Structure 1
């Protein structure tokens, strides 16, 4: 019979560039949110932001003005996704198992919506967008496994976390609106294909490296 290892106390590791400034901003907002705004409401709001992003990217095939819906969707997604857990901790109403399960489940769905929407836009090929999604999900799998096995939940890599990725995607989206698809001569690709594909490759490499590092640390115990 398969023996499931006991869950260790989880230490959150968040070393992204904006972590401290973002934490101060989130604490400030938590203190000012009305009582009817609950962590569950914010989780749903974050998912609604991901739906906005999906729709904006997909509809940009009709007209690039829809890319502004993408920018707005990223703001809504950040607000809901970043504040739900922060508000629960601020009000001391945490539900650790429920929150962990729902938060990461909705994150997975949101990431699928964002990358699939990007792949349905005229700027990035669907296969390249889904490759980037695979890289992101591999890193997520590593983070969840490490939380279970070594008690560390890594929320950032190379000084970048979800907030930095959202800002990068906003910058890329604005470049799409300003410059169009930017085709790369004789390749059938756009400049945005290369950017998204490169990010996907980096995430896959990070997954492999982090897996080897964790494996080595476990063998030395």
Structure 2
């Protein structure tokens, strides 16, 4: 019995090793500001002090997401709190964009650890940001959750693509995380400038229609990308 159990454990361990990707993932990043952003990140990395580490930058990104959430929630009392959300987006970009870049610059990558921690932080950050939008007096929570669902569907597509074809797709329709932050910053500034908008359609205001429309677009992109990947895998016979 003991021998069989140990043999089974060895089989499971061997099978797990085969299923774990060992090759570096191909990062597919074709967003509008990719070139300019890469130049900026390459300029920043050598200027960061040694006490700044990738893990600390990941934590900083999460703190930025918390600031975004706090700004939206506090805008119930005073819309000037929206500027805290705007600042939070800048902090979130700094931490989220530089954690992996700094690890690669210093040649201290831990591919599995970094992949897991970075994307776990991304998922949590999206939850904080879009929940904040839904709690704010400018956008309905159900609408914000549609956008969150669309984001999570595309994130799932990226993770699945990384597993089955070794490609980590970071952009869709020429837009990536940075473009989404810029859109959300513009939306937040518009909410401050315009204030509460009147319902335009079925109790939905202009901000609701915009965020809901983005959410629906993300779902549609997911469906197209999923069909394309299914066809690609079918052609490869895998």
Q: TM-score range by the shorter chain?
A: over 0.9
- Indicate conservation of the 8 Å contact 1:7/1:149, yes or no: no
Residue 88 of structure 1 corresponds to: 103
1:103 pairs with 2:118:
yes
**TM-score using structure 2 length:** 0.90
Residue 27 of structure 2 corresponds to: 12
- Indicate conservation of the 8 Å contact 1:156/1:162, yes or no: yes
Residue 38 of structure 2 corresponds to: 23
1:196 pairs with 2:211:
yes
1:126 pairs with 2:141:
yes
1:187 pairs with 2:217:
no
Q: Tell me the C-alpha RMSD between the 2 structures.
A: 1.5
Tell me by how many angstroms 1:151 deviates: 1.0
Q: Between Structure 1 and Structure 2, how many residues are aligned?
A: 221
Cα 1:146–1:8 change in 2 (3 A) is farther
Runs ≥4 residues deviating over 3 A: 1-6
Cα 1:185–1:208 change in 2 (3 A) is closer
Deviations 1:96-123 (A, max 9, x none): 1110000000100000000000000001
Contiguous gaps of at least 5 residues in structure 1: none
Deviations 1:141-191 (A, max 9, x none): 000000000111110011110000000000000000000122234632111
- Which of structures 1 and 2 has the larger relative contact order (alpha carbons within 8 angstroms, sep 6+)? 1
Rg: which structure is higher?
Answer: 2
Q: Secondary structure at the match of 2:47?
A: coil
1:170 pairs with 2:168:
no
Bigger shift: residues 180-189 or 10-19: 180-189
1:210 pairs with 2:225:
yes
Q: Secondary structure at the match of 1:189?
A: coil
**TM-score using structure 1 length:** 0.96
Tell me by how many angstroms 1:6 deviates: 5.0
Which of 148, 154, 160 in structure 1 is aligned with 2:175?
160
